[in-house]
Chains A and B, each alone.
Chain A
């Protein structure tokens, strides 16, 4: 009987170095197939960067590029001197982090739970119901949230009153400190099922032999989740986390915009709303662009930072 070759050994077989042109010729079909996507990325992701020049002008539409007034870093100075800026930064980061943490945790937990359900009909139904809200536009969803939280017969207040937890209806949307958490909770409600899909797919690809072996070793259900399922989908979790880091400063517009009101404005204004109110709505395109650049640069730093940390911790990484 031959001794089986363990996979570990395969990894150590050195890949012979081939000249560049030979590789190119060999993979030309693959390369050709990717050309449209490269063009797409160049047109939609790189060409618009030219628009960043707006941030250093006092841009006025209708004038040609050479007739614009150049103002250097004035727009950035204005931004950093604006007292609202720090409030906006705080709100954006806080709401993004809440959404990121609770959104991911709830999606992972939901995926684990759905995965453990045996009844196929129930499994399918639960999954469908949980991801349906994802397809509702925020315009509709915000009105649902408003109605649910209403003091005038809203279901949340009615329920709490019936359960004698509260005596008077609480005006949830009118409490500034609560706004971040309402955003977080409604985000979880809307996106939990959708987010779980990718984790379910990852769980499905876990080798069933591992579970069988664990059962033989006497591992219970929770142990199997903890020692097999979670470690197996860890690379996916890390990659999604890194990718989401890039969205920390661009989180949300519709949700905050549609749920906010004057009472909570100090906690509701995020970068996108700030850009709209103090930029585009006032025809200050240059200022809006400056804010956009700030966001892009910080996002880039965050993504690379997260990637670096993942690398140092020996985890899967994006780049």
Chain B
């Protein structure tokens, strides 16, 4: 059965690629492209898509991800049946290792002036060991960086809690849980259902929402499984999973679990249940990266605006200075690549060059001037309330406007351009506050800020940042060690939190014993790469 479906899949891929790269009768070029995000099939005609098709004469035959990316990538590599263009998130380098991507250096030099200009700042980072560039990262920041409405990560707390407590500024883990506990005592139920004090997400690969926290409590931004620490002028890779901060964090969760503040189910629920609980408005707090709770926040903004989540940069001890925000970085280790199956690499790079130039980027992200956005006397873009409303409807935005079909998986620009306009409407400096909803404005006014990011310190620039974009070679000893370490975290973290308080020390000792021998190889690989980045970037 499994073999059969495998074969069918291969057949499918084969037919898709076999029909690709043809030039149709009208002179339009067709490129096949695999995109590692899950979107419904392209509707055929959208406002943005039609303009792009008309101006370039390129028609894309898209294949979006269905199911598991790892499996899909494995299949593509094993079968050797490739589309013309592809994105494969953090598996992109595997295609390079298999010799399936073509180097872009000469193509860009000769045919793609815009790519050359806009990626210039990042170009050195993109070079692989052989000096070639094989993919264009999905985002380039050619000019200044911008700032989103919500920070990348934080300890989120329900607005109701803050309002009742008189808008306190939360700094430490103890303060955070104290607020939640007090509110819970006064309001044991919300909307007739039991109040949930704190949720921590632990569903399969998303469990970093629980295990990453110790580094943030030490004040670091999201580095991944290890943190490079500046020691005598050199970044030395250190582990934090058995640190005192980690111990204090799990001990706090353990205490809160046994008090009934942490949801009993938190370690067995999956992501769907997590979002469902968050959007019910009865969860008081959760730690996460914002993109993981965005869906719930959007539901709350619409249905229960008084229960939205507000992020705080929480640390373990007040003396810790936090730098939890991301310094601007691009994901140099992944992006859009042209494969060896592409018959017309020049055409493909010209198409990408057209997509990345500023005019196209403003079209994809903002729309048509006068229809989807306006320009004020200073040359700054803005949207009227009516235009904003239009873009609040995600289905219209996707199926009629069509911008998202050229966004997440295609190279695009981020940041502020030379005229002070943000490429992303959501991040237009003048619009972050103006386009916020009344409930968000209430919180911002209470804290005297114009964006939730202002609750945080500005990020600290580090040349190598971040560690997690380093890929560990597939199947290497470090890779096996990493899988084993994740297994240990998977097995022990629930035990740490759910054990009886008097048993915590024993479980902690077992955990330290189990995880400590599983870091050496990984640290070695990360250290080498960090050193390399510090030298070459």
Contact = CB atoms under 8 A, between A and B. Distances in A.
Interface of A: 44, 48, 60-62, 84, 143, 146, 150-153, 169, 171, 173-174, 261-263, 265-266, 277-278, 280-285, 287
A173 B272 contact: no
Contacts of A146: 268-270, 273
Contacts of B207: 262
Interface string B188-199: 000001101000
A48 B418 CA distance: 59
B77 A61 contact: yes
Contact of B267 (A152, A263, A284, A287): A263
Contact of B99 (A44, A62, A169, A266): A62
Contacts of A169: 264
B483 A60 contact: no
Given A262-B493, A281-B483, A285-B78, 9 more contacts: A61-B80, A61-B98, A62-B100, A84-B487, A152-B263, A262-B202, A262-B491, A263-B494, A283-B474
- Which secondary structure dominates chain A's binding surface? helix
A143 B77 CA distance: 32
A284 B265 contact: no
Contact of B483 (A44, A174, A278): A278
Interface string B480-502: 10010001011101110010000
Contact of A262 (B77, B193, B494): B494
12 contacts: A44-B7, A61-B77, A61-B80, A151-B265, A152-B264, A152-B265, A153-B193, A261-B203, A278-B483, A282-B479, A284-B474, A287-B475
A172 B26 CA distance: 62
B313 to A, nearest CB: 27
Given A61-B98, A283-B475, A265 B70 contact: no
B459 interface: no
A282 B480 contact: yes
Interface in B253-303: 263-265, 267-270, 272-273, 277
B3 A174 contact: no
B128 to A, nearest CB: 16
Contacts of B479: 282
B74 interface: yes
Contact of A280 (B70, B97, B277): B70
A261 B268 contact: yes
Contacts of B78: 61, 285
A151 B277 CA distance: 13
B98 A60 contact: yes
Contacts of B196: 152
Contacts of B419: none
Contacts of B203: 261
A298 to B, nearest CB: 18
Interface residues of B, number: 43
B221 to A, nearest CB: 25
B4 A44 contact: yes
Contacts of A153: 193
B94 interface: yes
B498 A263 contact: yes
5 nearest A-B residue pairs (beta carbon): A62-B98, A283-B474, A262-B490, A61-B77, A263-B494
- Which secondary structure dominates chain B's binding surface? helix
Interface in B488-518: 489-491, 493-495, 498
A27 B302 CA distance: 73
Contacts of B489: 262
Contacts of B74: 61, 280, 283, 285
Contacts of B269: 146, 150
Contacts of B490: 262, 265
Contacts of B80: 61-62
A261 B100 CA distance: 36
B268 A280 contact: no
A74 to B, nearest CB: 12
B24 interface: no
A174 B474 CA distance: 32
Contacts of A280: 70-71, 74
A240 to B, nearest CB: 17
A284 B489 CA distance: 22
A265 B491 contact: yes
B493 A143 contact: no
A152 B263 CA distance: 9
Nearest to B263: A152
Contacts of A150: 265, 269, 273
A280 B475 CA distance: 10
A265 B196 CA distance: 26
- Which of A151, A171, A263 counts the most chain B CB atoms within 10 A? A263
Contacts of A284: 474-475
B272 A152 contact: no
Contacts of B94: 283
Nearest to B70: A281
Nearest to B476: A282
A285 B79 CA distance: 13
Nearest to B486: A277
Contacts of B98: 60-62
B101 to A, nearest CB: 11
A169 B194 CA distance: 13
B480 to A, nearest CB: 7
Contacts of A84: 487
B3 A48 contact: yes
Interface in B51-95: 70-71, 74, 77-78, 80, 94
A84 B263 CA distance: 30
